[in-house]
Amino acid sequence: MKLGGKDFLIVGRAGMDFYPDPPGTRTEDAAHFVSCLGGSSANIGVALVKQGCTAALVTRVSDDAIGRFAVNQLDHYGVDRTHVTPVGGEARNSLAVVETRVEDHQSVIYRNGAADFEMTEADIEAVDYAPYDALITTGTVFAAEPSRTAAFRAFDLARGAGLPLIFDIDYRPYSWPSAEVAAEVLGRAGAACDCIVGNDVEFGFMAGRYDRGLDKARALASEGKLIVYKMGEKGAITFHEGEEIRTGIYPTKALKPTGAGDSFMGGFIAALANGHDLKTAILRGSASAAMVVARVGCAPAMPTTDELEAFLADHPGPTEQSHAHPAP
């Protein structure tokens, strides 16, 4: 997969995150909360912008104060929201209440009647794909209609414009009607893409058995796709053109377990767009992930290029990763 530039179109959700404050507070004990932009696609957009790229988001938000909060936050971070459309009625924006704590961490996600699932083919067809260098999306966009059909239409239009398709599996069971539907749809989405990023559990889910995730990753790579198979603290294996690149992680003192995947994707793709070789790009994505789990929030925690360079200069380096450990 080759990137011709630094301009990215992202299809997916923008929402609001609430964090009990101060850090370490349990949600049920909290009297104060800090709000920030959330939603995996929005987070990826922020990560890309902070590392020298441009990003435009295609989604729907609720036509109310929470939707306007998300739009204002996109403006704050410099993510183009020309194609973010408000929707009225009973649709509501995504809301996540997420603790800044690792031990007994709790995340409560509100996705009932989610506004982003109201995205239509008309929203997708209103976009000019020519100015962009790749399309990025996450699995959640496929979890319900009409968003699912719209997202597949975006794939067709982006492919017609010559854009590579980059896919974060991002399987969230609570968004889907059933595991069977999710496996079929995510498999179809993955088959259409040039680059797939996911963890061992997600690839195992796509394979139909959690102990076959690595086999699934290798099979997809054999079709010419760039595959990043993440294994948490065990590092990652990246499959590309017959090569297997094994990388470790950057150990850090985590404040929370959330945000790492979005930060990895943003840092990884930004590094490729900025001319780094594949292994360096993977490591920069891993370092970006390590930085985010050590900070409060997701969008505000995404590192800038300067912050990432400072982290890499001060950190002793990634762990060694030499053996694959498929999920049990």
- Per-residue pLDDT reduced to its tens digit, 117-152: 999 999 999 999 999 999 999 999 999 999 999 999
- The residue-averaged pLDDT of 232-254 equals 95
Q: How far is CA 66 from the centre of its chain?
A: 21
- Answer whether 200's CB lies under 8 Å from 171's CB: no
Confidence check: pLDDT of 227 > 60: yes
CA–CA dist 234, 236 (Å, integer):
7
Show the tokens assigned to 55. Answer: 């990003």
Question: 321 pLDDT band (50/70/90 cuts)?
Answer: low
Predicted confidence band at 238 (pLDDT cuts at 50, 70, 90)?
Answer: very high
pTM: 0.95
State percent of the chain over pLDDT 70.
Answer: 98
Distance, CA of 270 to CA of 304 (rounded, Å): 11
Overall average pLDDT of the 261-287 stretch? 97
> So what's the pLDDT on residue 178?
92
Q: How far apart are CA 9 and CA 131, in angstroms?
A: 9
pLDDT confidence of residue 39: 96
Q: 109 pairs with which residues across the strands?
A: 96
**Average per-residue pLDDT in the chain?**
95
- Res 324 pLDDT > 50: no
Q: 164-179, pLDDT tens digit by residue?
A: 999 999 999 989 999 9
Cα torsion angle, 315, 319, 320, 321, sign: negative
* pLDDT score for 85: 98
pLDDT digits (tens, 9 = 90+) for 50-100: 999 999 999 999 999 999 999 999 999 999 999 999 999 999 999 999 999
Distance separating alpha carbons of residues 136 and 59, to the nearest angstrom: 13
- Report all structural domains of the chain as residue ranges with CATH numbers, in order of start: 7-314 (3.40.1190.20)
Predicted confidence at residue 320, as pLDDT, reads 78
Q: For residue 101, how far is the Cα from the chain centroid?
A: 21
Question: How is residue 303 annotated by DSSP?
Answer: P
Q: What is the pLDDT of residues 22-34, one digit of tens each?
A: 999 999 999 999 9
Specify the 3-state DSSP secondary structure of 312: helix
H, E, C per residue of 164-230: CEEEECCCCHHHCCCHHHHHHHHHHHHHHCCEEEEEHHHHHHHHCCHHHHHHHHHHHHCCCCEEEEE
Going from the C-alpha of 161 to that of each of 76, 128, 154, 210, 278, the distances in angstroms are 29, 9, 10, 36, 24
Binned at pLDDT 50, 70 and 90, residue 4 comes out as confident
Decide if pLDDT at 1 tops 80: no
Which pLDDT score is estimated for 325? 44
User: How many CA atoms, within 13 angstroms, populate the side-chain half-sphere of residue 311?
Assistant: 22
Q: Write the pLDDT tens digit of every residue in 194-219.
A: 999 999 999 999 888 889 999 999 99
Confidence (pLDDT) at 326 = 42
* AA letter at 291: M
User: pLDDT digits over 102-116, tens only?
Assistant: 999 999 999 999 999
Alpha-carbon span 76 to 80, nearest angstrom: 10
Helix axes 278-293, 260-273, angle to 10 degrees: 150
